[in-house]
Structure formats: C-alpha cells, structure tokens
C-alpha cells in the first residue's frame, strides 16, 4: 500500500478511536465519501488564502483560551503582515457532514458538535494535508495529539519547507473546568487528564524531533508569555503551569489584549 494511503488509514483509525461517531449507522460517513467532500472543502477554503508556507499552531486544553485568547493575537499578526491564512479547526467542518441537517434535527442544535466530532476531526486532517502540500498559510487551532499524529504533521511541515510556530496556554483541568460548563459533552476530569497526557507526549516528541522549533507558552495567570524559545527547553514550564490549580483572576480582556500586542511584534 502506498505510504500516503497508510497515513490516511492511520489518521482515520486514530480519530475514530478518540472521537467515535455516535450517530445512526446510516448517517456515518464511509471512507469512499471523503474525497468528494474534501474537494468541496478545498474549493471553499482556498478562495482568498495566501501562500507563504507559514503554519501557526494554537494548542492547549479545551477551555484554555485557544480561540478566545490566542487567536485574536494571531489574526492581528496576520493582518499586519498581509497574510490571509486558512483557519483550521474542527468546528469549521461540521456543516460539511453529508447528513448534517438530519443530525441537527434528530439530536438538536446543542448536540451537533458532539455527534459530528469524528467526521470533523478526520476532515480537518485530510484537508490540512492538502493545504500544506499547496503551500497555503494556515492557522491550526487544535490541541496537541499523540506522537503518531504529530509525526505526520511534522513530516508534512518539514517536507514542504514551512515556517512553523507553536502557541499554547498551559493550564490545569481544575481551571478549565470553570470555562466548560456549557460544553459538558467534551469535558470531564478524565478527558482533560487525557489531553494533558497527549500534550506532554507530543511536546516530548517535538523536543526529540524538532528541538529548535519555536514555542510560545502563556499561563492563565500572566499577561506576558511564561516561555518563548525553542521547544527543547519548555517541558518544565509546561509541567509547572499544567499542575497549578488556583483559579485565575477575571482579567480575560487584559490578557487577550496583551497577547495581541505581543504577537504583532514578536511572532
């Protein structure tokens, strides 16, 4: 089997094991359906995108502030530098599910994300592979995954000569729990501990395989980053802030604005 096909099967197997579909069997997406869906997605997402071979990875636990805290800073940086990147996040693929309307009507609006999670995460990785091959600028808003998935991404990034930056917020499940009251389907102490395990293993993978890659880490307690440098020296900082359980002060807007200011000048 060609290597690309083996990696495709590896991606799908991983996503199915971590985010298994719970919809009716007749509404689950078969392997043969993905190419046509992927073609439509690529047509939609690449209309105005730039091609500078720049990938910015936003990582962290669910509820850590990836989207509300870091993404505004990344958007400001891209605007300043005339980049029009493609935002890659699982939520962008939900409506491409071939049975989206049936799922929405049957399970309700509040459960659509949960019931399409397997499909959305598979589509994200399939689309990401095509976009990197095309040299598009990308903002990847996805938590770090196990090393076998990160190895596929790193191979794509290196093979296509991308500039790669990793941005994340280190936080404990005790803290994220207060932000996730409306997303109970995705949160439990066990789920967040699993994310921390996968993130730790992923960082160890990057330390070994791409030690000079730049990583910027924030905490939920500080406005400036708590670390900005090569990934090879970040593990202690990540472990420290991922185990702190005191709740932060309510200064989300100030911390977001500090990230915007930092990233527009330092990224």
| Residues 244 and 196 reside in one and the same domain | yes
| Collapsed DSSP state (helix, strand, coil) of residue 189 | helix
Q: Which helix (H) or strand (E) holds 168?
A: strand 163-170
Binned at pLDDT 50, 70 and 90, residue 1 comes out as very low
In the chain, the number of structural domains is 2
Give the pLDDT confidence of 21-47 residue by residue, as tens digits. 888 999 999 888 999 999 999 999 999
Give the pLDDT confidence of 70-103 residue by residue, as tens digits. 999 999 999 999 999 999 999 999 999 999 999 9
Mean pLDDT (whole number) for 61-67: 82
CA–CA distance, 134 with 128 (Å, rounded to integer) = 10
| Residues 263 and 190 reside in one and the same domain | yes
Out of 135, 150, 168, a domain closes at 135
| Residues 216 and 170 reside in one and the same domain | yes
**Where in the sequence is the domain holding 128, given as residue range(s)?**
1-45+89-135
| Residues 179 and 263 reside in one and the same domain | yes
| Residues 147 and 104 reside in one and the same domain | no
The percent of residues above 90 in pLDDT, for the chain, comes to: 65
| Residues 108 and 197 reside in one and the same domain | no
Residue 183: which CATH number? 3.40.50
| Residues 33 and 157 reside in one and the same domain | no
pTM of structure: 0.89
210 alpha carbon, distance to own chain's centre: 18
CA–CA distance, 4 with 136 (Å, rounded to integer) = 20
Q: Shortest CA distance to 205 belongs to which of 127, 159, 153?
A: 153
Find the DSSP H helices in 60-146: 71-80, 100-107, 112-115, 117-133
The pLDDT of residue 189 is 63
Q: Tell me the average pLDDT of the chain.
A: 89
| Collapsed DSSP state (helix, strand, coil) of residue 60 | strand
Out of 135, 170, 193, a domain closes at 135
| Residues 80 and 188 reside in one and the same domain | yes
Out of 97, 120, 135, a domain closes at 135
CA–CA distance, 200 with 194 (Å, rounded to integer) = 10
| Residues 154 and 118 reside in one and the same domain | no
Give the pLDDT confidence of 175-229 residue by residue, as tens digits. 877 665 555 555 566 666 777 888 999 999 999 999 999 999 999 999 999 999 9
Structural contact between residues 173 and 189, judged by C-beta atoms closer than 8 angstroms: yes
Structural contact between residues 166 and 222, judged by C-beta atoms closer than 8 angstroms: no
């Amino acid at each position: 089997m060609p290597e690309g096909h083996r990696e495709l099967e590896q991606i799908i197997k991983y996503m199915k094991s971590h985010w298994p579909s719970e919809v009716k069997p007749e509404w689950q997406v078969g392997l043969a359906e993905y190419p046509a869906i992927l073609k439509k997605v690529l047509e939609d997402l690449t209309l105005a995108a730039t091609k500078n071979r720049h990938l910015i990875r936003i990582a962290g636990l669910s509820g850590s502030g990836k989207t509300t805290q870091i993404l505004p800073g990344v958007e400001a940086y891209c605007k300043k530098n005339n980049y029009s990147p493609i935002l890659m996040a699982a939520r962008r693929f939900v409506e491409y599910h071939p049975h989206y309307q049936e799922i929405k009507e049957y399970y309700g609006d509040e459960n659509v994300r949960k019931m399409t999670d397997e499909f959305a995460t598979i589509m994200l990785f399939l689309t990401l592979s095509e976009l990197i091959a095309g040299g598009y600028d990308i903002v990847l808003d996805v938590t770090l995954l196990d090393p076998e998935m990160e190895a596929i991404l790193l191979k794509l990034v290196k093979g296509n000569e991308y500039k790669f930056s990793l941005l994340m917020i280190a936080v404990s499940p005790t803290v994220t729990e207060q932000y996730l009251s409306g997303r109970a389907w995705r949160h439990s102490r066990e789920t967040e501990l699993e994310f921390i395990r996968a993130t730790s293993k992923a960082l160890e993978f990057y330390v070994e395989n791409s030690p000079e890659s730049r990583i910027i880490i924030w905490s939920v307690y500080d406005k400036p980053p708590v670390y900005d440098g090569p990934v090879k020296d970040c593990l202690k900082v990540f472990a420290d802030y991922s185990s702190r359980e005191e709740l932060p002060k309510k200064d989300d807007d100030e911390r977001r604005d500090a990230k915007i200011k930092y990233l527009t000048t330092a990224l």
